[in-house]
Homo-oligomer: A and B are copies of this chain.
Amino acid sequence: MKIIIVGGVAGGMSTAARLRRLDEHAEVVIYERDPYVSFANCGLPYHISGDIADRNKLFVVTPKDLERTLALQVHVQHEVTGIDRSRKVVRVFDHASGRTFEDHYDKLVLAPGANPVRPPLPGVNHPRIHALRNISDMDAIKAVVDQGAFSAVVVGGGYIGLEMAEALRRRGVRVDLVERSDQLMQNLDPEMSRDLAYHMESHGVNVHLGTNVREFRDADGRVEVVLAGGAHPVADLVVLAVGVQPENELAKMAGLTIGTRGGIVVDQHMRTSDPDIYAVGDAVEVRDAATGEMAVIPLAGLANRQGRVAADHIAGRPSAFQAVQGTSVIKVFDMTAGGTGASEKALRRAHMSYTKIYIHPNGHAGYYPGTHPMHLKLLFTPQEGRLLGAQVVGFDGVDKRIDVLATALRAGMTVYDLEDLELAYAPPYGAAKDPVNMAGFVAANALRGDVELWYPEEYTDLPDDALLIDMRSPREYAGWHIPKAINIPMGELRQHIADLGDHKDRPIYLYCLSGFRSYLGTRVLRQYGFQNVNNLSGGLKTFIAFHRNPLTSAQPAVPFEPHAEDRTAESERIPVT
Protein backbone atom coordinates (compact mmCIF):
# COMPACT_ATOMS: atom_id res chain seq x y z
CA MET A 1 0.00 0.00 0.00
CA LYS A 2 1.24 3.47 -0.84
CA ILE A 3 0.26 6.43 1.29
CA ILE A 4 1.00 9.98 0.23
CA ILE A 5 0.94 12.68 2.89
CA VAL A 6 0.67 16.34 1.98
CA GLY A 7 2.40 18.41 4.66
CA GLY A 8 5.17 17.29 7.00
CA VAL A 9 4.68 19.14 10.27
CA ALA A 10 2.52 18.15 13.26
CA GLY A 11 -0.47 16.32 11.75
CA GLY A 12 1.24 14.97 8.67
CA MET A 13 4.33 13.74 10.43
CA SER A 14 2.32 12.13 13.22
CA THR A 15 0.37 10.22 10.60
CA ALA A 16 3.55 9.09 8.88
CA ALA A 17 5.36 7.99 12.04
CA ARG A 18 2.38 6.07 13.35
CA LEU A 19 1.77 4.46 9.95
CA ARG A 20 5.29 3.10 9.84
CA ARG A 21 4.93 1.51 13.23
CA LEU A 22 1.71 -0.16 12.20
CA ASP A 23 2.84 -1.22 8.76
CA GLU A 24 6.51 -1.82 8.11
CA HIS A 25 5.84 -2.60 4.47
CA ALA A 26 3.69 0.38 3.49
CA GLU A 27 5.25 2.94 1.18
CA VAL A 28 4.94 6.30 2.89
CA VAL A 29 5.73 9.43 0.90
CA ILE A 30 5.60 12.94 2.36
CA TYR A 31 5.48 16.07 0.25
CA GLU A 32 6.22 19.29 2.11
CA ARG A 33 6.09 22.60 0.30
CA ASP A 34 8.49 24.33 2.69
CA PRO A 35 12.15 23.48 3.21
CA TYR A 36 11.54 21.97 6.66
CA VAL A 37 9.54 19.13 8.12
CA SER A 38 8.54 18.39 11.69
CA PHE A 39 9.75 21.69 13.08
CA ALA A 40 8.65 23.10 16.40
CA ASN A 41 5.87 25.34 15.20
CA CYS A 42 4.97 26.57 18.67
CA GLY A 43 8.58 27.50 19.38
CA LEU A 44 8.94 30.18 16.72
CA PRO A 45 8.23 33.21 18.95
CA TYR A 46 10.73 31.90 21.50
CA HIS A 47 13.59 31.89 19.02
CA ILE A 48 12.80 35.49 18.14
CA SER A 49 12.73 36.36 21.85
CA GLY A 50 16.06 34.67 22.42
CA ASP A 51 14.66 32.13 24.90
CA ILE A 52 15.57 29.40 22.44
CA ALA A 53 18.97 30.71 21.38
CA ASP A 54 19.88 27.79 19.14
CA ARG A 55 17.78 27.82 15.96
CA ASN A 56 18.60 24.16 15.38
CA LYS A 57 16.58 23.21 18.43
CA LEU A 58 13.45 23.99 16.45
CA PHE A 59 14.11 21.14 14.08
CA VAL A 60 12.76 18.09 15.85
CA VAL A 61 14.01 15.70 13.19
CA THR A 62 15.52 15.95 9.75
CA PRO A 63 14.33 14.17 6.60
CA LYS A 64 17.46 12.02 6.88
CA ASP A 65 16.50 10.89 10.42
CA LEU A 66 13.05 10.00 9.14
CA GLU A 67 14.44 8.04 6.23
CA ARG A 68 16.93 6.19 8.36
CA THR A 69 14.77 5.38 11.34
CA LEU A 70 11.24 5.24 9.97
CA ALA A 71 11.97 4.51 6.31
CA LEU A 72 9.84 7.45 5.22
CA GLN A 73 10.34 9.15 1.89
CA VAL A 74 10.38 12.83 2.68
CA HIS A 75 10.46 15.41 -0.09
CA VAL A 76 10.77 19.03 1.00
CA GLN A 77 10.11 21.98 -1.31
CA HIS A 78 7.64 19.75 -3.08
CA GLU A 79 4.20 21.28 -3.42
CA VAL A 80 1.16 19.20 -4.22
CA THR A 81 -0.79 21.33 -6.68
CA GLY A 82 -3.64 19.05 -7.64
CA ILE A 83 -5.44 15.79 -6.97
CA ASP A 84 -7.01 13.59 -9.60
CA ARG A 85 -9.31 11.45 -7.49
CA SER A 86 -10.49 9.22 -10.33
CA ARG A 87 -6.94 8.18 -11.18
CA LYS A 88 -5.76 8.47 -7.55
CA VAL A 89 -2.77 10.60 -8.38
CA VAL A 90 -1.42 13.89 -7.05
CA ARG A 91 0.37 16.47 -9.16
CA VAL A 92 3.59 17.63 -7.50
CA PHE A 93 5.70 20.69 -8.23
CA ASP A 94 9.34 20.45 -7.18
CA HIS A 95 10.37 23.98 -6.26
CA ALA A 96 14.06 23.11 -6.42
CA SER A 97 14.12 21.66 -9.92
CA GLY A 98 11.07 23.41 -11.34
CA ARG A 99 9.80 20.00 -12.43
CA THR A 100 6.17 18.85 -12.17
CA PHE A 101 5.29 15.18 -11.88
CA GLU A 102 2.47 12.88 -10.89
CA ASP A 103 2.48 10.31 -8.11
CA HIS A 104 -0.04 7.57 -7.42
CA TYR A 105 -1.57 6.90 -3.99
CA ASP A 106 -3.70 4.20 -2.45
CA LYS A 107 -4.52 6.50 0.45
CA LEU A 108 -3.93 10.23 0.56
CA VAL A 109 -3.62 12.29 3.75
CA LEU A 110 -4.02 16.06 3.60
CA ALA A 111 -2.22 17.94 6.35
CA PRO A 112 -1.77 21.36 4.79
CA GLY A 113 -2.32 23.39 7.98
CA ALA A 114 -3.78 26.86 8.16
CA ASN A 115 -2.78 30.16 6.65
CA PRO A 116 -2.48 33.42 8.55
CA VAL A 117 -5.34 35.74 7.63
CA ARG A 118 -4.13 38.78 5.71
CA PRO A 119 -6.85 41.43 6.05
CA PRO A 120 -7.47 43.36 2.82
CA LEU A 121 -6.31 46.70 4.20
CA PRO A 122 -4.63 49.41 2.20
CA GLY A 123 -0.88 48.95 2.34
CA VAL A 124 -1.02 45.44 3.80
CA ASN A 125 1.65 44.24 1.38
CA HIS A 126 4.32 46.57 2.74
CA PRO A 127 7.58 44.54 3.00
CA ARG A 128 7.88 45.23 6.73
CA ILE A 129 4.54 43.51 7.45
CA HIS A 130 4.93 39.85 8.39
CA ALA A 131 2.81 37.00 9.57
CA LEU A 132 4.39 34.17 11.59
CA ARG A 133 3.65 30.76 10.21
CA ASN A 134 6.89 29.04 9.40
CA ILE A 135 10.66 29.13 9.71
CA SER A 136 11.07 31.64 6.88
CA ASP A 137 8.63 34.04 8.54
CA MET A 138 10.52 33.64 11.79
CA ASP A 139 13.84 34.28 10.12
CA ALA A 140 12.50 37.39 8.43
CA ILE A 141 11.06 38.85 11.64
CA LYS A 142 14.16 37.99 13.64
CA ALA A 143 16.40 39.61 11.04
CA VAL A 144 14.55 42.92 11.43
CA VAL A 145 14.86 42.71 15.22
CA ASP A 146 18.51 41.72 15.05
CA GLN A 147 19.17 44.76 12.87
CA GLY A 148 18.00 46.93 15.75
CA ALA A 149 14.27 47.47 15.28
CA PHE A 150 13.10 50.23 17.56
CA SER A 151 9.35 49.72 17.42
CA ALA A 152 6.79 47.21 16.30
CA VAL A 153 3.04 46.95 15.96
CA VAL A 154 1.42 43.59 16.59
CA VAL A 155 -2.06 43.28 15.13
CA GLY A 156 -4.21 40.71 16.90
CA GLY A 157 -4.57 39.73 20.55
CA GLY A 158 -4.61 35.94 20.31
CA TYR A 159 -1.87 33.36 20.95
CA ILE A 160 0.58 34.49 18.30
CA GLY A 161 -0.07 38.16 18.93
CA LEU A 162 0.58 37.90 22.65
CA GLU A 163 3.58 35.63 22.31
CA MET A 164 5.07 37.94 19.68
CA ALA A 165 4.41 41.05 21.76
CA GLU A 166 6.27 39.42 24.64
CA ALA A 167 9.10 38.23 22.40
CA LEU A 168 9.60 41.69 20.97
CA ARG A 169 9.51 43.38 24.37
CA ARG A 170 12.11 40.95 25.60
CA ARG A 171 14.29 42.09 22.74
CA GLY A 172 13.84 45.70 23.86
CA VAL A 173 11.47 46.69 21.07
CA ARG A 174 8.69 49.20 21.70
CA VAL A 175 5.42 47.35 21.08
CA ASP A 176 1.90 48.47 20.28
CA LEU A 177 -0.60 45.63 20.37
CA VAL A 178 -3.81 46.30 18.46
CA GLU A 179 -6.91 44.17 19.00
CA ARG A 180 -10.21 44.81 17.28
CA SER A 181 -12.45 43.38 20.01
CA ASP A 182 -12.57 44.64 23.58
CA GLN A 183 -10.53 41.76 25.01
CA LEU A 184 -7.42 39.66 24.49
CA MET A 185 -7.61 35.87 23.98
CA GLN A 186 -11.04 35.17 22.51
CA ASN A 187 -11.21 31.70 24.06
CA LEU A 188 -11.46 33.37 27.49
CA ASP A 189 -14.42 35.35 28.71
CA PRO A 190 -13.73 39.09 28.78
CA GLU A 191 -13.52 39.45 32.57
CA MET A 192 -10.98 36.62 32.71
CA SER A 193 -8.72 38.22 30.13
CA ARG A 194 -8.73 41.63 31.78
CA ASP A 195 -5.65 41.07 33.93
CA LEU A 196 -3.71 39.81 30.92
CA ALA A 197 -4.06 43.22 29.31
CA TYR A 198 -2.92 45.00 32.46
CA HIS A 199 -0.03 42.60 32.85
CA MET A 200 1.09 43.30 29.29
CA GLU A 201 0.88 47.03 29.96
CA SER A 202 2.97 46.54 33.09
CA HIS A 203 5.62 45.00 30.85
CA GLY A 204 5.56 48.00 28.55
CA VAL A 205 3.24 46.81 25.80
CA ASN A 206 0.83 49.51 24.65
CA VAL A 207 -2.42 47.62 24.42
CA HIS A 208 -5.10 49.07 22.14
CA LEU A 209 -8.36 47.20 22.69
CA GLY A 210 -11.49 47.78 20.63
CA THR A 211 -9.30 49.32 17.95
CA ASN A 212 -9.27 48.63 14.21
CA VAL A 213 -6.39 49.18 11.86
CA ARG A 214 -7.55 51.48 9.04
CA GLU A 215 -4.51 51.30 6.81
CA PHE A 216 -0.79 50.84 6.61
CA ARG A 217 1.31 53.64 5.07
CA ASP A 218 4.92 53.65 4.07
CA ALA A 219 7.02 56.06 6.15
CA ASP A 220 10.51 56.15 4.68
CA GLY A 221 10.65 52.37 4.55
CA ARG A 222 9.02 51.97 7.97
CA VAL A 223 5.30 51.38 8.40
CA GLU A 224 2.82 53.90 9.73
CA VAL A 225 -0.14 52.02 11.21
CA VAL A 226 -3.26 54.15 11.14
CA LEU A 227 -5.60 53.11 13.94
CA ALA A 228 -9.31 53.83 14.20
CA GLY A 229 -8.87 55.70 17.46
CA GLY A 230 -6.61 58.30 15.85
CA ALA A 231 -3.23 56.96 16.93
CA HIS A 232 -0.80 56.11 14.16
CA PRO A 233 2.36 54.47 15.51
CA VAL A 234 5.25 54.16 13.10
CA ALA A 235 6.96 50.81 13.28
CA ASP A 236 10.03 49.07 11.95
CA LEU A 237 8.00 45.90 11.89
CA VAL A 238 4.36 44.89 11.83
CA VAL A 239 3.33 41.38 12.86
CA LEU A 240 -0.07 40.34 11.58
CA ALA A 241 -1.64 37.85 13.94
CA VAL A 242 -5.35 38.18 13.34
CA GLY A 243 -5.99 34.47 13.11
CA VAL A 244 -5.67 31.72 10.58
CA GLN A 245 -7.88 30.16 7.96
CA PRO A 246 -7.73 26.49 7.06
CA GLU A 247 -5.75 25.88 3.90
CA ASN A 248 -8.53 24.28 1.90
CA GLU A 249 -7.58 25.14 -1.69
CA LEU A 250 -6.32 21.70 -2.65
CA ALA A 251 -9.30 20.00 -1.06
CA LYS A 252 -11.70 22.43 -2.68
CA MET A 253 -10.21 21.96 -6.13
CA ALA A 254 -10.51 18.22 -5.68
CA GLY A 255 -14.20 18.60 -4.89
CA LEU A 256 -13.96 17.44 -1.28
CA THR A 257 -16.62 18.73 1.08
CA ILE A 258 -15.70 21.96 2.87
CA GLY A 259 -17.58 22.96 6.03
CA THR A 260 -19.24 26.19 7.02
CA ARG A 261 -16.11 27.30 8.86
CA GLY A 262 -13.98 26.76 5.77
CA GLY A 263 -12.37 23.59 7.11
CA ILE A 264 -12.22 20.24 5.37
CA VAL A 265 -15.09 18.04 6.57
CA VAL A 266 -13.99 14.69 8.02
CA ASP A 267 -15.68 11.80 9.79
CA GLN A 268 -14.57 10.39 13.14
CA HIS A 269 -11.79 8.43 11.41
CA MET A 270 -10.51 11.63 9.75
CA ARG A 271 -11.81 10.56 6.35
CA THR A 272 -12.92 13.31 3.99
CA SER A 273 -15.91 12.95 1.66
CA ASP A 274 -13.60 10.72 -0.46
CA PRO A 275 -12.99 7.51 1.54
CA ASP A 276 -9.45 7.23 0.16
CA ILE A 277 -8.52 10.73 1.28
CA TYR A 278 -7.96 11.67 4.91
CA ALA A 279 -7.34 15.11 6.35
CA VAL A 280 -5.81 16.09 9.71
CA GLY A 281 -4.64 19.15 11.59
CA ASP A 282 -5.46 22.82 11.34
CA ALA A 283 -7.20 22.40 7.98
CA VAL A 284 -10.10 20.30 9.24
CA GLU A 285 -13.29 21.11 11.09
CA VAL A 286 -13.86 19.51 14.46
CA ARG A 287 -16.87 19.32 16.73
CA ASP A 288 -16.87 21.30 19.94
CA ALA A 289 -17.58 18.83 22.73
CA ALA A 290 -19.63 21.24 24.85
CA THR A 291 -21.76 23.05 22.30
CA GLY A 292 -21.76 20.59 19.44
CA GLU A 293 -20.81 23.39 17.06
CA MET A 294 -18.26 22.88 14.31
CA ALA A 295 -15.02 24.80 14.69
CA VAL A 296 -11.53 25.14 13.28
CA ILE A 297 -9.07 24.93 16.17
CA PRO A 298 -5.38 25.23 15.29
CA LEU A 299 -3.69 23.35 18.13
CA ALA A 300 -0.66 21.09 17.77
CA GLY A 301 -1.99 18.54 20.23
CA LEU A 302 -5.14 17.98 18.21
CA ALA A 303 -3.19 17.69 14.97
CA ASN A 304 -0.98 15.00 16.48
CA ARG A 305 -3.93 13.07 17.81
CA GLN A 306 -5.75 13.27 14.49
CA GLY A 307 -2.66 12.01 12.69
CA ARG A 308 -2.63 8.99 14.95
CA VAL A 309 -6.32 8.31 14.25
CA ALA A 310 -5.88 8.63 10.50
CA ALA A 311 -2.88 6.29 10.52
CA ASP A 312 -4.75 3.77 12.65
CA HIS A 313 -7.72 3.78 10.31
CA ILE A 314 -5.58 3.44 7.19
CA ALA A 315 -3.91 0.47 8.86
CA GLY A 316 -7.30 -1.08 9.55
CA ARG A 317 -7.83 -0.09 13.16
CA PRO A 318 -11.08 1.48 14.30
CA SER A 319 -9.62 4.45 16.24
CA ALA A 320 -11.88 7.48 16.34
CA PHE A 321 -11.27 11.15 17.01
CA GLN A 322 -13.51 12.60 19.68
CA ALA A 323 -15.11 16.01 19.90
CA VAL A 324 -12.76 18.74 21.03
CA GLN A 325 -12.63 20.39 24.43
CA GLY A 326 -10.27 23.09 23.23
CA THR A 327 -7.95 22.87 26.23
CA SER A 328 -5.28 25.53 25.87
CA VAL A 329 -2.76 27.61 27.76
CA ILE A 330 -0.58 30.62 27.06
CA LYS A 331 2.34 32.20 28.88
CA VAL A 332 2.28 36.00 28.80
CA PHE A 333 5.38 37.33 30.56
CA ASP A 334 4.95 36.09 34.13
CA MET A 335 1.29 35.20 33.77
CA THR A 336 -0.33 32.01 32.63
CA ALA A 337 -3.84 31.85 31.21
CA GLY A 338 -5.96 29.18 29.67
CA GLY A 339 -8.99 27.03 29.87
CA THR A 340 -10.85 23.94 28.87
CA GLY A 341 -14.34 23.26 27.61
CA ALA A 342 -16.83 25.97 26.76
CA SER A 343 -16.57 29.63 27.66
CA GLU A 344 -19.58 31.51 28.94
CA LYS A 345 -19.73 33.33 25.61
CA ALA A 346 -19.86 30.03 23.75
CA LEU A 347 -22.57 28.63 26.05
CA ARG A 348 -24.69 31.72 25.49
CA ARG A 349 -24.24 31.54 21.76
CA ALA A 350 -25.36 27.92 21.90
CA HIS A 351 -28.31 28.81 24.17
CA MET A 352 -27.16 26.32 26.78
CA SER A 353 -28.06 26.85 30.40
CA TYR A 354 -25.26 26.99 32.93
CA THR A 355 -24.25 28.20 36.36
CA LYS A 356 -20.91 29.80 37.09
CA ILE A 357 -18.67 30.61 40.03
CA TYR A 358 -15.49 32.58 40.48
CA ILE A 359 -12.76 32.01 43.06
CA HIS A 360 -9.30 33.47 43.67
CA PRO A 361 -7.20 30.90 45.50
CA ASN A 362 -3.42 30.98 45.77
CA GLY A 363 -1.40 28.70 43.52
CA HIS A 364 0.07 27.07 46.60
CA ALA A 365 0.02 27.46 50.38
CA GLY A 366 -0.03 31.17 51.13
CA TYR A 367 2.63 30.88 53.80
CA TYR A 368 5.18 29.37 51.41
CA PRO A 369 6.92 32.00 49.26
CA GLY A 370 6.24 32.61 45.60
CA THR A 371 2.50 32.25 45.31
CA HIS A 372 -0.19 34.57 44.00
CA PRO A 373 -3.96 34.49 43.82
CA MET A 374 -5.33 33.18 40.55
CA HIS A 375 -8.66 33.88 38.91
CA LEU A 376 -10.59 30.64 38.43
CA LYS A 377 -13.96 30.49 36.71
CA LEU A 378 -16.02 27.32 36.57
CA LEU A 379 -19.04 26.71 34.34
CA PHE A 380 -21.36 23.76 34.98
CA THR A 381 -24.88 22.51 34.37
CA PRO A 382 -27.40 24.06 36.78
CA GLN A 383 -29.00 20.74 37.71
CA GLU A 384 -26.40 17.99 37.98
CA GLY A 385 -23.38 20.27 38.24
CA ARG A 386 -21.60 18.56 35.36
CA LEU A 387 -18.54 20.53 34.26
CA LEU A 388 -18.96 22.54 31.07
CA GLY A 389 -15.86 24.66 31.10
CA ALA A 390 -13.16 26.28 33.19
CA GLN A 391 -10.80 29.21 32.82
CA VAL A 392 -7.77 29.98 34.96
CA VAL A 393 -5.58 33.09 34.88
CA GLY A 394 -2.74 33.85 37.24
CA PHE A 395 0.84 33.02 38.03
CA ASP A 396 1.99 29.84 39.79
CA GLY A 397 0.16 26.56 39.29
CA VAL A 398 -2.26 27.77 36.63
CA ASP A 399 -1.29 25.23 33.97
CA LYS A 400 -1.73 22.44 36.53
CA ARG A 401 -5.28 23.42 37.41
CA ILE A 402 -6.22 23.73 33.74
CA ASP A 403 -5.04 20.17 33.12
CA VAL A 404 -6.75 18.77 36.21
CA LEU A 405 -9.99 20.45 35.19
CA ALA A 406 -9.55 19.27 31.59
CA THR A 407 -9.21 15.72 32.88
CA ALA A 408 -12.22 16.09 35.17
CA LEU A 409 -14.30 17.55 32.35
CA ARG A 410 -13.32 14.75 30.00
CA ALA A 411 -14.34 12.24 32.67
CA GLY A 412 -17.78 13.83 32.92
CA MET A 413 -17.19 14.84 36.52
CA THR A 414 -19.51 17.10 38.47
CA VAL A 415 -18.66 19.87 40.88
CA TYR A 416 -19.38 17.39 43.67
CA ASP A 417 -16.61 15.18 42.31
CA LEU A 418 -14.24 18.14 42.42
CA GLU A 419 -14.94 18.55 46.14
CA ASP A 420 -13.58 15.06 46.75
CA LEU A 421 -10.64 14.96 44.34
CA GLU A 422 -7.55 13.82 46.13
CA LEU A 423 -4.76 16.02 44.80
CA ALA A 424 -1.14 16.17 45.87
CA TYR A 425 -0.30 18.64 48.59
CA ALA A 426 2.99 19.97 49.85
CA PRO A 427 3.43 23.68 50.59
CA PRO A 428 5.44 24.44 47.41
CA TYR A 429 2.82 22.87 45.14
CA GLY A 430 -0.66 23.29 46.45
CA ALA A 431 -2.91 23.54 49.45
CA ALA A 432 -4.61 21.02 51.67
CA LYS A 433 -7.71 22.26 49.90
CA ASP A 434 -6.53 22.63 46.36
CA PRO A 435 -7.96 25.41 44.17
CA VAL A 436 -9.80 22.68 42.26
CA ASN A 437 -11.37 21.38 45.49
CA MET A 438 -12.24 24.97 46.42
CA ALA A 439 -13.97 25.48 43.08
CA GLY A 440 -15.92 22.32 43.81
CA PHE A 441 -16.90 23.48 47.31
CA VAL A 442 -18.08 26.87 46.13
CA ALA A 443 -19.98 25.49 43.14
CA ALA A 444 -21.55 22.67 45.14
CA ASN A 445 -22.58 25.09 47.87
CA ALA A 446 -24.45 27.06 45.23
CA LEU A 447 -26.11 23.98 43.72
CA ARG A 448 -27.11 22.61 47.12
CA GLY A 449 -28.77 25.90 47.90
CA ASP A 450 -26.43 26.71 50.78
CA VAL A 451 -25.81 30.06 49.19
CA GLU A 452 -27.46 32.20 46.52
CA LEU A 453 -24.97 33.94 44.29
CA TRP A 454 -25.08 37.27 42.56
CA TYR A 455 -22.76 38.43 39.82
CA PRO A 456 -20.97 41.66 38.95
CA GLU A 457 -22.94 42.10 35.72
CA GLU A 458 -26.16 42.33 37.77
CA TYR A 459 -24.93 45.34 39.72
CA THR A 460 -26.60 47.95 37.57
CA ASP A 461 -29.91 46.07 37.78
CA LEU A 462 -30.12 45.42 41.52
CA PRO A 463 -33.63 46.00 42.88
CA ASP A 464 -34.33 49.49 44.24
CA ASP A 465 -34.75 48.25 47.79
CA ALA A 466 -31.55 46.16 47.69
CA LEU A 467 -29.37 46.39 50.76
CA LEU A 468 -25.76 46.21 49.58
CA ILE A 469 -23.36 45.26 52.37
CA ASP A 470 -19.56 45.34 52.19
CA MET A 471 -18.33 42.77 54.72
CA ARG A 472 -14.68 43.76 54.73
CA SER A 473 -12.90 45.73 57.42
CA PRO A 474 -13.57 49.46 57.80
CA ARG A 475 -10.09 50.15 56.43
CA GLU A 476 -10.73 48.10 53.33
CA TYR A 477 -14.14 49.73 52.92
CA ALA A 478 -12.61 53.18 53.25
CA GLY A 479 -10.06 52.37 50.53
CA TRP A 480 -12.74 51.75 47.95
CA HIS A 481 -16.15 50.13 47.95
CA ILE A 482 -18.96 49.52 45.52
CA PRO A 483 -21.08 52.68 45.36
CA LYS A 484 -24.18 52.48 47.62
CA ALA A 485 -22.70 49.73 49.81
CA ILE A 486 -22.81 50.06 53.58
CA ASN A 487 -20.11 48.47 55.72
CA ILE A 488 -20.68 45.65 58.20
CA PRO A 489 -17.44 43.71 58.78
CA MET A 490 -18.01 39.97 59.02
CA GLY A 491 -16.58 39.89 62.53
CA GLU A 492 -19.29 42.30 63.69
CA LEU A 493 -22.24 40.86 61.79
CA ARG A 494 -23.75 38.96 64.70
CA GLN A 495 -23.95 42.19 66.73
CA HIS A 496 -25.94 43.81 63.93
CA ILE A 497 -28.53 41.09 63.52
CA ALA A 498 -31.01 43.03 65.63
CA ASP A 499 -30.53 46.28 63.65
CA LEU A 500 -30.99 44.39 60.42
CA GLY A 501 -34.10 42.68 61.74
CA ASP A 502 -36.43 45.10 59.93
CA HIS A 503 -35.00 43.93 56.61
CA LYS A 504 -35.78 40.24 56.79
CA ASP A 505 -37.61 40.24 53.47
CA ARG A 506 -35.54 42.91 51.77
CA PRO A 507 -33.07 41.63 49.16
CA ILE A 508 -29.62 41.69 50.67
CA TYR A 509 -26.49 41.67 48.50
CA LEU A 510 -23.28 40.85 50.29
CA TYR A 511 -19.73 41.06 49.10
CA CYS A 512 -16.14 41.08 50.33
CA LEU A 513 -12.76 40.89 48.65
CA SER A 514 -12.94 37.38 47.24
CA GLY A 515 -16.35 36.12 48.33
CA PHE A 516 -15.41 34.15 51.41
CA ARG A 517 -16.28 36.45 54.30
CA SER A 518 -19.54 37.32 52.61
CA TYR A 519 -20.25 33.61 52.22
CA LEU A 520 -19.93 33.29 55.98
CA GLY A 521 -22.21 36.30 56.28
CA THR A 522 -24.75 34.69 53.99
CA ARG A 523 -24.81 31.58 56.14
CA VAL A 524 -25.32 33.61 59.32
CA LEU A 525 -28.09 35.83 57.94
CA ARG A 526 -30.02 32.97 56.41
CA GLN A 527 -30.00 31.08 59.67
CA TYR A 528 -31.33 34.18 61.40
CA GLY A 529 -34.31 34.12 59.06
CA PHE A 530 -33.29 36.56 56.35
CA GLN A 531 -35.07 35.31 53.25
CA ASN A 532 -33.25 36.87 50.34
CA VAL A 533 -29.50 36.92 50.87
CA ASN A 534 -27.08 36.89 47.95
CA ASN A 535 -23.31 36.57 47.86
CA LEU A 536 -21.18 38.20 45.16
CA SER A 537 -19.37 35.38 43.38
CA GLY A 538 -15.65 36.07 43.31
CA GLY A 539 -16.07 39.21 45.41
CA LEU A 540 -14.48 42.52 44.51
CA LYS A 541 -11.70 40.77 42.61
CA THR A 542 -14.17 39.58 40.03
CA PHE A 543 -16.27 42.75 40.27
CA ILE A 544 -13.25 44.83 39.36
CA ALA A 545 -12.44 42.57 36.43
CA PHE A 546 -15.93 43.28 35.10
CA HIS A 547 -16.27 46.94 35.80
CA ARG A 548 -12.85 48.42 35.47
CA ASN A 549 -12.81 50.35 32.23
CA PRO A 550 -10.93 48.99 29.27
CA LEU A 551 -7.45 50.30 28.73
CA THR A 552 -8.54 52.66 26.01
CA SER A 553 -10.20 54.96 28.56
CA ALA A 554 -8.09 57.46 30.42
CA GLN A 555 -9.09 56.52 33.95
CA PRO A 556 -10.14 53.20 35.44
CA ALA A 557 -13.63 53.28 36.91
CA VAL A 558 -12.54 51.36 39.99
CA PRO A 559 -9.07 50.94 41.42
CA PHE A 560 -7.14 48.06 39.93
CA GLU A 561 -5.54 46.87 43.12
CA PRO A 562 -7.50 46.70 46.34
CA HIS A 563 -5.74 48.18 49.34
CA ALA A 564 -2.40 46.41 49.67
CA GLU A 565 -3.10 44.92 53.06
CA ASP A 566 -6.44 43.55 51.99
CA ARG A 567 -4.79 40.82 50.02
CA THR A 568 -3.73 39.19 53.22
CA ALA A 569 -6.58 40.41 55.37
CA GLU A 570 -6.60 38.06 58.32
CA SER A 571 -10.23 37.40 58.02
CA GLU A 572 -9.86 35.90 54.53
CA ARG A 573 -7.55 33.27 55.95
CA ILE A 574 -10.09 31.26 57.88
CA PRO A 575 -9.95 27.61 56.90
CA VAL A 576 -12.63 26.91 54.34
CA THR A 577 -14.28 23.55 54.35
Task: Name A's B-contacting residues (CB within 8 A).
Answer: 10, 13-15, 17-18, 20-25, 38, 40, 42-43, 46, 51-52, 57-58, 60-62, 65-66, 68-71, 299-305, 307-308, 311, 322, 324-331, 336, 338, 340, 365-369, 399-400, 402-404, 406-408, 410-413, 417, 420-430, 432-434, 436, 450, 490-491, 494, 517, 519-520, 523-524, 527-528, 570-571, 573-577
Asked whether, in the complex, the Cβ of A52 is within 8 Å of the Cβ of B368, the reply is: yes
Asked whether, in the complex, the Cβ of B429 is within 8 Å of the Cβ of A399, the reply is: yes
Asked whether, in the complex, the Cβ of B367 is within 8 Å of the Cβ of A58, the reply is: yes
Closest to A370 in B: B51
Closest CB-CB distance, A296 to chain B, in whole Å?
Answer: 16
Contact of A368 among B43, B65, B69, B307 (CB under 8 A): B43
Asked whether, in the complex, the Cβ of B71 is within 8 Å of the Cβ of A494, the reply is: yes
Question: What separation, in Å, do the CA atoms of A421 and B404 have in the docked complex?
Answer: 11
Contact of A520 among B52, B69, B407 (CB under 8 A): B69
Question: What separation, in Å, do the CA atoms of A38 and B574 have in the docked complex?
Answer: 9
Contact of A407 among B366, B412, B421 (CB under 8 A): B421
* Chain B residues whose CB sits within 8 angstroms of the CB of A43 once the complex forms: 365, 367-368, 427
Q: Known interface pairs A429-B329, A520-B69. Does A25 touch B304 (Cβ–Cβ under 8 Å)?
A: no
Question: What separation, in Å, do the CA atoms of A406 and B436 have in the docked complex?
Answer: 13
Could you list 18 further interchain pairs (A-B, Cβ under 8 angstroms) beyond the known A300-B425, A304-B577, A411-B417?
A15-B577, A17-B574, A21-B519, A24-B527, A40-B427, A42-B427, A42-B432, A46-B427, A57-B366, A57-B367, A65-B571, A70-B520, A305-B422, A328-B426, A329-B430, A400-B400, A403-B436, A407-B421
Contact of A14 among B304, B367, B420, B575 (CB under 8 A): B575
* Chain B residues whose CB sits within 8 angstroms of the CB of A490 once the complex forms: 69
Q: Which 6 A-B pairs have the closest CB atoms?
A: A411-B411, A329-B424, A24-B527, A18-B577, A68-B491, A300-B432
